[in-house]
Chain A
Amino acid sequence: MHLDNTMSQRVTFNNKFLPYLLLAPQMLVTLVFFFWPAYQAARSSLYLPDPFGLSEQYVGLENFTFLLEDAYYRASFITTAVFSALVAAISMGAALWLAIMADRIIKGSGIYRTLLIWPYAVAPAIAGVLWLFMFNPSIGVAPYYLKALGYNWNHVLNPGEAMGLVVAASAWKQVSYNFLFFLAGLQAIPKSVIEAAAIDGAGFWRRFWTIVFPLLSPTTFFLLVVNVVYAFFETFGVIHTITAGGPQQATTILVYKVFADGFVGQDLGSSAAQSVILLFVVGILTIVQFRFIERKVHY
């Protein structure tokens, strides 16, 4: 091993096998837990198995054509779009607001931050159950007070309320994570730049929109990608415990439909096809985010 100082500061290994050996554990994990399942999903999407999984029949792209003609599946796309947009917007907006406030306070900031980070430690299913009990139409605290105000809450029957509830629970869980990143982002902005803007005559909100927010854009962009992926995949536990996709599939987002059709409906071929579509959708979304939104980011 020697240090090649002439062109770059790269460490060069003379041993040909060591790099491969060092990479092997990670490659093995990726192969077993990502590539193999992905391959299986892609393969299954072309087959139609019987409900007991004892036999299967090759059907080509029929699983896909069936899905695209299915009104419920198309509705699930809209549901997912609405759900993800709301979750990302609400959780990022709330987190940014809290981070700005946390950045301003001097006394007790440690306690404030710790309390804000706690929700992140709550498992999705537990978070779902917490919200479920609070908003249970018969015994929940929130509907009791809402009734006192003259509003009859029942998310079991009302699709709008059901969507509102899963969005609130999912966003609430992600606020902590976003808060941490926003706070770190805010603290990375040099104080003197803010002071220079204050001397230049900009008030608090003017400074925020013209200086702080643009300088925070790398963080915001990163969180946007993370939050969209979160809303697409990791909100399963929340939805499963609170609404189980109902009422009338009003909260059945794509990933929930993969589960519902595959494991409840026993239509494994369709479920696999949906997984493949989901993979493409998230891939395309991420590419779009990087190509069109990242241009507006100032690093």
Chain B
Amino acid sequence: MADVSLHAVRKSYGKTEVIHGVDIDIADGEMIVIVGPSGCGKSTLLRMVAGLESITAGKISIGNRVVNDLEPRERDIAMVFQNYALYPHMSVRQNLAYGLKIAKMDKAEIDRRVDKAATLLQIGEYLNRKPRQLSGGQRQRVAMGRAIVREPSVFLFDEPLSNLDAKLRVQMRMEIKALQRELGVTALYVTHDQVEAMTMADRMIVMNAGIAEQIGAPLEVYNNPQTKFVGGFIGSPPMNFLPKAAQNGPASATEIGVRPEHLRFCAPGTGLFDGTLKFQEALGAEMLLHLQDTTGRTIIMRVETREAPELGTETVGVTADPADIVFFDANGKRA
């Protein structure tokens, strides 16, 4: 168990810089989720912490020890890969014991740890099977087990749930979170799924094009996005963006952002937006209304299904509480 800190971490491939300086101090036992669209550098950042990619500039330390020049095995970490990376020719038991055997741990201790992890993850009955005889969810558990038995200071997860079906994914993300809490191990978790990030993170790093756009607790990031990108990426459906009306907000602001659930109806011409209904998506408890104005701009409004109005082709006005509106400048930063 250890603190992890990244200081001005950069990565270049030749002349192309892909990570432009990331700083974060991670407290012992904290779960940090790195989230961003594909190609944003989130996996590269994780692999740099793991020691699978070199660090071009900056400093990474684990437990107050700078690990920049240490081999992966010297960093006291364990990693769960997207494709699980189980050793296909070994049984589940051998997979779990592999790292411990290399560490020259005595046999009784290896068995104790493997059995403990197997019980914890409910894979005890598969210990003698080969990975190919397991389902995706079971393989995922074995990959987790392989990380747990080593009792590392830091867990690294590289999109561990993206190969599972939707239902299993929801179940596993809670299990991983519970397990991480129980073991109290610092964890870095990479995902492209913002729901996963929101539900699992103590704090999240929202990355875009090699830059950490915002670091903060999930609700803090959701309610108070520091950039237009964060507002658009976190939340489903995303934040709505509209040109700023002349009368309100800071002078530097050019655009406003407002969450779909903060919109409400008003008389046409008096609100932020006038439009007509194009589609509606009934999700069950709530409903998404897609409204389009005469210029073709669309905004999405989230309303409770019971309170959803019957809309025809009439023009409706939409507004929001000023406290729920955020302002962005021409560079997409908060104004």
Listed in ascending order, the chain A residues whose CB lies under 8 Å from chain B are: 190, 192-193, 195-203, 206, 210-211, 214-215, 298
Contacts and interface: CB of A to CB of B under 8 A. Distances in A.
A215 B72 contact: no
Contact of B79 (A193, A196, A203, A206): A196
Nearest to B156: A199
Contact of A199 (B50, B82, B83, B88): B50
A298 B89 CA distance: 6
Interface stretch (B2-10, B60-68, B97-105): B97-105
A169 to B, nearest CB: 36
B89 A214 contact: yes
B98 A200 contact: yes
Contacts of B78: 199
Given A192-B81, A192-B83, A193-B85, A199 B102 contact: no
- Which 4 A-B residue pairings sit nearest by Cβ, starting from the closest? A200-B99, A192-B85, A298-B89, A201-B73
B73 A202 contact: yes
28 contacts: A190-B83, A190-B85, A192-B82, A193-B86, A193-B87, A195-B52, A195-B72, A195-B85, A196-B81, A196-B85, A197-B87, A197-B98, A198-B52, A199-B50, A199-B51, A199-B72, A199-B79, A199-B99, A200-B98, A200-B146, A201-B103, A202-B73, A202-B98, A202-B102, A203-B73, A215-B89, A298-B88, A298-B89
A200 B87 CA distance: 11
Contacts of B86: 193, 196
Of A192, A211, A215, A298, most buried by chain B (CB within 10 Å of CB) is A192
Contacts of B99: 199-201
B85 A200 contact: no
Contacts of A193: 85-88
B71 interface: yes
Given A195-B81, A199-B79, A215-B89, A206 B73 contact: no
B39 to A, nearest CB: 18
B72 A198 contact: yes
A202 B99 CA distance: 8
A198 B83 contact: no
Contacts of B71: 198
B113 interface: no
A190 B102 CA distance: 21
Contact of A215 (B79, B81, B88, B102): B88
The contact size tier of chain B is: 20 to 34
B77 interface: yes
Nearest to B150: A200
A199 B87 CA distance: 13
B77 to A, nearest CB: 7
Contacts of A192: 81-83, 85
Contacts of A202: 73, 98, 102
A217 B52 CA distance: 26
Of A190, A198, A199, A206, most buried by chain B (CB within 10 Å of CB) is A199
Interface string B34-71: 00000000000000001110000000000000000001
A214 B130 CA distance: 14
A211 B89 CA distance: 8
B48 to A, nearest CB: 13
Of A192, A198, A200, A214, most buried by chain B (CB within 10 Å of CB) is A200
Given A200-B102, A201-B102, A211 B87 contact: yes
Contacts of B150: 200
Nearest to A297: B89
Interface string B148-162: 001000000000000
Contacts of A195: 50, 52, 72, 79, 81, 85
A200 B73 contact: yes
B247 to A, nearest CB: 55
A298 B83 CA distance: 19
Contacts of B85: 190, 192-193, 195-196
Contacts of A211: 87
A11 B78 CA distance: 49
A45 B74 CA distance: 68
Nearest to A196: B85
Of A192, A196, A201, most buried by chain B (CB within 10 Å of CB) is A196
A214 B87 CA distance: 10
A108 to B, nearest CB: 15
A197 B73 CA distance: 9
B89 A199 contact: no
Contacts of B102: 200-202, 206
Of A201, A211, A214, A298, most buried by chain B (CB within 10 Å of CB) is A201
B114 to A, nearest CB: 14
Nearest to A206: B102
A196 B96 CA distance: 12
Contacts of A198: 52, 71-73
Interface string B211-245: 00000000000000000000000000000000000
Nearest to A298: B89
B91 to A, nearest CB: 12
B170 to A, nearest CB: 24
A165 to B, nearest CB: 39
A84 B82 CA distance: 44
Nearest to A195: B52
Nearest to B98: A200
Nearest to A203: B73
A298 B103 CA distance: 25
Nearest to A214: B89
Given A195-B79, A196-B79, A200-B98, 14 more contacts: A190-B83, A192-B82, A193-B88, A195-B81, A196-B81, A197-B87, A199-B99, A200-B73, A201-B99, A202-B73, A202-B102, A206-B102, A211-B87, A214-B89
Nearest to A191: B85
